[in-house]
Amino acid sequence: DTAVSQTPKYLVTQMGNDKSIKCEQNLGHDTMYWYKQDSKKFLKIMFSYNNKELIINETVPNRFSPKSPDKAHLNLHINSLELGDSAVYFCASSQGGLAGDRSYNEQFFGPGTRLTVL
Amino acid sequence: DQQVKQNSPSLSVQEGRISILNCDYTNSMFDYFLWYKKYPAEGPTFLISISSIKDKNEDGRFTVFLNKSAKHLSLHIVPSQPGDSAVYFCAARGAGSYQLTFGKGTKLSVIP
């Protein structure tokens, strides 16, 4: 009974290709996120959607485009893949809201998608 | 510019002893702090958190201490168990923000 799931788990592709990573959460959360963990192991936020509306859009190349068809899904599409895009991408979700309470702050992470660009 | 720093990339502790993982932050607007645990090939999982209005939060073997004046927090695990071996990430959230800023992680190895 997976809370946050991502597909695929591994993705190997050539430079210049376009690929998508899908994310689904069954927790009833309002907010979803995409993070990138690079070779230096930093987890960096890329995007966040709250109720299908983009609320965080960090400085990432516009080759990356998130799409949220509904509250339970946040997909990541990457155009013209480059070598530097190789990383592990994590999807996460949270209840949303800004209260100083664990239930609002805790983010639940998916298992990650390891993207390798050759 | 790293706003959340975990200066020890790794830590080894004997089983049964205390593990202390440290985290420093620079942004005084952070008002909520979390610790995540991550096993290889899995996503991070929430461990424990603390609001900036508190200085301690305890959950079983895990205790988080916050020293706001020093902009420092620490995670204590006692007693440490081999299953605690993982990478531990410190994260912080700013007031009025949905965004979590993560440290680079500390790899804890608990030796049986």
Residue B13: pLDDT band (50, 70, 90) is very high
CB atoms A44 and B102 under 8 Å: yes
**Half-sphere exposure for A116 (CA within 13 Å, toward CB):** 5
Per residue in B25-64, pLDDT (tens digit) is 999 999 999 999 999 989 999 999 999 999 999 999 999 9
For the cut 80, the answer to whether the pLDDT of residue B69 exceeds it is yes
Do B99 and B32 contact (CB within 8 A), yes or no?
no
Q: What is the pLDDT of residue B99?
A: 83
Number of CB atoms found within 10 A of residue A37's CB: 21
> Which of B:48-87 have CB within 8 Å of A?
49, 51-53, 87
pLDDT at res. B97: 78
Which tens digits make up the pLDDT trace of A68-92? 999 899 999 999 999 999 999 999 9
The three-state (H, E, C) secondary structure of chain B, written as one string: CCCEECCCCEEEEECCCCEEEEEEECCCCEEEEEEEEECCCCCCEEEEEEECCCCEEEECCEEEEEECCCCEEEEEECCCCHHHCEEEEEEEEECCCCCEEECCCEEEEEEC
What residue of B is the nearest CA neighbor of A54? B98
Contact A106 B46 (CB under 8 A): yes
Q: According to the model, what pLDDT value does residue A104 have?
A: 63
Percent share of chain A, pLDDT over 90: 64
pLDDT value at A99 more than 60: no
Burial class (CB in 10 A: 0-12, 13-18, 19+), A70: exposed
Of B49, B95, B99, the CB nearest to A106: B49
Number of helices and strands (H, E) in chain A?
1, 11
Q: Is the minimum CB–CB distance between A96 and chain B shorter than 8 Å?
A: yes
Q: What are the b/e assignments for B20-36, b being 16+ CB within 10 Å?
A: bbbbbbeeeebbbbbbb
Q: Which residue in this structure is represented by tokens 């192991």?
A: A41
Work out the average pLDDT over A94-106: 67
The residue with greater pLDDT, A18 or B100, is: A18
pLDDT at residue A39 is higher than 90: no
A4 to B43: CB separation less than 8 angstroms, yes or no: yes
- Residue in chain A closest to B43 (alpha carbons) equals A111
Identify the residue with better confidence: A11 or A1.
A11
Cα B69 to Cα B72: distance, rounded to the nearest angstrom:
8
**B34: closest CA among B93, B99, B77?**
B93
* List of chain A residues whose C-beta atoms are within 8 Å of the C-beta of residue B89: 43
Query: In terms of CA atoms, which chain B residue is nearest residue A4?
Result: B43
Any chain A CB within 8 A of the CB of B7? Answer: no
Q: Which chain A residue has the Cα nearest residue B104? A: A42
* pLDDT for res A103: 60
pLDDT cut 70: percent of chain B above it: 99
Whether pLDDT at A49 is above 60: yes
Q: Which of B5, B82, B77, B86 is nearest to B38 (CA)?
A: B86
Asked whether residue A97 carries a pLDDT value surpassing 70, the answer given is no
Owner of token pair 């902009």:
B71
Tell me the C-alpha distance between A3 and B76, whole Å.
28
3-state SS class at A109: strand
- Name the nearest CA neighbour of A24 among A13, A32, A12: A32
Residues of chain B contacting A34 with CB distance shorter than 8 Å: none
Report the pLDDT value the prediction gives residue B30, as an integer from 0 to 100: 93
Distance CA B20, CA B72 (A): 13
Provide the pLDDT for residue B28.
Answer: 92
What is the reported pLDDT for A102?
60
Query: Quick one: average pLDDT of A5-16?
Result: 97
Flag whether residue A45 sits within 8 Å of chain B, measured between CB atoms: yes
Three state DSSP letters for A59-84: CCCCCEEEEEEECCEEEEEECCCCHH
Across residues A25-52, what is the average pLDDT? 89
